[in-house]
């Protein structure tokens, strides 16, 4: 594709002052400048196809920054599941999580929103899982080399029984998410979700995740700081660097354009350099051998036993842990996780579109996105993944850093996830990344998620007492209530285990309760059009007026959300306009303009 074509596709058409609102009124002169997208120029847009080496390396990079969640959350859940007492069971759990992550990622990027978003295990289901498994009693003793066959079989029976409880509850609860998407009911939420809600949700996600990053960085601050420094250096500093090189008696100055505009592998390069350094320091004995000492987890041989003991190949299949079982307590708890995941994903969809210089996702794309996430969670329950799956916000940060938004790179990442789930040796090698490096990557990527949340405020008049009040209260609710419940685990005691499960699941999720609080306040407190940002989707899409040229240009931009097949038939078929997943869907739209 020519450079001019790529530039035309990848740029938002941001217009001058005087944006008409829904009632044809003009904005205040103090709030008329249209916000520019975060990425002024992309190397590759959503529909571009980079060269195969770039696709492969970007796929590896997406995988490398996403596998931390698909690795860490199963490890956290493995203990109450009793999978940690047997190394073989733990490897099987990790492989299944990676395999399902690949399936759900492909469903989302190909048939869902069609945005370059990676799916992975979410922390929204941790509290329901802990409560559900806490009712099952203690785990058996760990398996050792002296354990008998009967003891190993007993451990496997207990672990499989606990997993079946999670599988059934997750499958049934996820049906609600599928129905919300397939029926188009989730589109109704768009009438009430505005930039303040999205900002609060993304900030709450960051606040919940960053302590994990801080703990990982704290295992060796020197290594994690080096990784963070390299990301900053490659992505923000070395835009153009003059390198003097000797040539005979004179110095020839060569301009080397690095990272920011030409090389999209800042994260991968930073990880590789830091990992090699850890390998050298481990071989030199610079890190302690005692697991209790500071710096031990910076060693590259911490998980060497995983690599040695894991099988070469294993194909995860549905029902590998037995027939799923459903419980009322599990269903209610997981339903709270489903609703938290939906609110989080709605923010991720719009943030990803903003970063990718595309219009906000239309209703049909959001319907498909939520439906595909629900199908992905059902697949997780059938295969035996330890939690539901949702969109990963750190990929949005990677796109902002690398300027590569091609969905083909996410297809490649999905394939790598599937391969790593089947080839256990490869999976074990990837999970051997030193923990300080994982913390450094999480700190840089999730920190930018909060920045994207702040960028959403460009579409509202934020310097008003109304909006400042809503942001302050919503953030307090999203931070304060989950923190209180974590420090006082028995504070909710209604006398009903089911009710306690529901309240703990809902009130314990900061991203859900903070987003809901912001949404409610933003809709019940009076405000002007500019304060509420009622036309933020139109502004983000670059709509200035309703003339034909702008409509044609907008329709061209919106084609990135079309399905990859049968579009000619869909456009010719009249009744498809009433099918919520169809790109021609017209339901739940504003009368003056359909997005």
- CB distance 150 to 401 below 8 Å: no
- CB distance 349 to 363 below 8 Å: no
The predicted pLDDT at position 539 comes to 60
Structure-block tokens of residue 224 = 């994690």
The predicted pLDDT at position 458 comes to 76
Distance CA 119, CA 291 (A): 32
Pairing of strands 240-247, 250-257: antiparallel
The predicted pLDDT at position 332 comes to 73
3-state SS, one letter per residue, for 313-326: CCCCCCCCCCCCCC
- CB distance 444 to 230 below 8 Å: no
* Other CB atoms within 10 Å distance of the CB of residue 303: 17
Alpha carbon 197 to its chain's center: 17
- CB distance 124 to 390 below 8 Å: yes
* Other CB atoms within 10 Å distance of the CB of residue 157: 13
Own/partner contacts of 31-36, CB < 8 Å, gap of 24 or more, are 31/461, 31/530, 34/539, 34/542, 35/455, 35/458, 35/459, 35/539, 36/12
The predicted pLDDT at position 412 comes to 93
Instruction: Say whether 73 sits in a helix, a strand or coil.
Output: helix
- CB distance 441 to 273 below 8 Å: no
Helix 195-217, helix 465-487: angle, nearest 10:
40
In the chain (595 residues long), the average pLDDT of successive 10-residue segments reads: 34 32 39 45 83 86 75 74 74 86 92 90 74 73 69 81 87 90 80 80 74 81 89 71 48 38 61 88 85 82 69 84 81 75 77 82 89 92 87 78 86 91 76 79 71 73 86 88 81 77 71 83 86 67 43 66 87 86 72 41
Instruction: Say whether 289 sits in a helix, a strand or coil.
Output: coil
Instruction: Say whether 389 sits in a helix, a strand or coil.
Output: strand
Phi, psi angle pair for 46, to nearest 5°: -60, -40
């Amino acid at each position: 594709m020519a450079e001019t074509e790529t530039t035309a596709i990848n740029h938002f058409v941001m217009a001058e002052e005087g944006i008409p609102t829904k009632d044809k009124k003009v904005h205040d002169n103090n709030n008329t400048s249209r916000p520019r997208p975060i990425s002024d120029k992309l190397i590759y847009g959503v529909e571009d196809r980079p060269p195969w080496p770039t696709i492969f390396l970007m796929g590896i990079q997406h995988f490398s920054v996403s596998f931390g969640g698909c690795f860490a959350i199963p490890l956290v859940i493995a203990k109450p599941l009793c999978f940690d007492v047997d190394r073989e069971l733990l490897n099987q759990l990790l492989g299944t999580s990676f395999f399902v992550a690949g399936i759900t990622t492909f469903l989302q990027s190909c048939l869902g929103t069609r945005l370059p978003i990676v799916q992975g295990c979410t922390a929204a289901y941790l509290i329901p899982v802990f409560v559900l498994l806490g009712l099952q009693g203690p785990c058996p003793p760990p398996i050792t080399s002296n354990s008998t066959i009967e003891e190993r079989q007993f451990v496997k029976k207990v672990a499989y029984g606990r997993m079946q409880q999670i599988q059934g509850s997750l499958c049934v609860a996820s049906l609600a998410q599928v129905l919300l998407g397939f029926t188009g009911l989730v589109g109704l939420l768009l009438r009430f979700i505005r930039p303040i809600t999205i900002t609060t949700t993304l900030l709450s996600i960051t606040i919940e995740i960053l302590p994990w990053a801080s703990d990982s960085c704290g295992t060796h601050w020197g290594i994690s700081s080096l990784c963070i420094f390299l990301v900053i250096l490659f992505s923000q500093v070395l835009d153009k660097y003059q390198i003097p090189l000797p040539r005979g008696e004179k110095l020839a100055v060569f301009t080397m354009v690095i990272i920011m505009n030409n090389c999209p592998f800042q994260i991968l390069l930073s990880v590789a350099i830091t990992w090699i350094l850890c390998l050298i320091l481990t071989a030199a004995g610079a890190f302690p051998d005692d697991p209790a000492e500071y710096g031990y987890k910076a060693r590259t041989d911490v998980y060497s036993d995983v690599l040695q003991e894991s099988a070469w190949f294993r194909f995860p299949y549905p029902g590998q842990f037995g027939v799923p079982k459903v419980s009322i307590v599990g269903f209610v708890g997981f339903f709270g996780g489903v609703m938290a995941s939906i609110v989080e994903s709605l923010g991720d969809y719009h943030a990803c579109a903003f970063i990718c210089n595309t219009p906000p996702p239309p209703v049909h794309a959001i319907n498909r996105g939520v439906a595909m996430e629900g199908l992905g969670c059902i697949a997780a329950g059938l295969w035996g993944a330890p939690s539901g799956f949702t969109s990963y916000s750190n990929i949005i940060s990677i796109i902002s850093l690398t300027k590569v938004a091609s969905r083909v790179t996410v297809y490649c990442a999905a394939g790598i996830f599937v391969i790593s789930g089947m080839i256990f040796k490869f999976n074990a090698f990837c999970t051997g990344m030193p923990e300080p490096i994982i913390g450094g990557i999480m700190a840089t990527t999730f920190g930018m998620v909060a920045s994207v949340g702040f960028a959403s405020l460009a579409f509202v008049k934020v310097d008003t007492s109304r909006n400042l009040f809503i942001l302050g209260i919503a953030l307090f609710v999203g931070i304060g209530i989950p923190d209180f419940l974590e420090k006082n685990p028995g504070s909710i005691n209604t006398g009903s285990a089911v009710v306690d499960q529901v309240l703990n699941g809902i009130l314990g999720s900061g991203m859900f309760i903070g987003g809901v609080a912001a949404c409610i306040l933003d809709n019940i407190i009076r405000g002007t059009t500019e304060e509420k940002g009622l036309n933020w989707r139109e502004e983000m899409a670059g709509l200035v007026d309703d003339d034909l040229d702008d409509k044609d240009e907008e329709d061209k931009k919106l084609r990135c959300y079309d399905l990859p097949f049968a579009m000619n038939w869909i456009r010719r078929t009249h009744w498809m306009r009433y099918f919520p997943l169809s790109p021609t869907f017209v339901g739940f739209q504003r009368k003056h303009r359909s997005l």
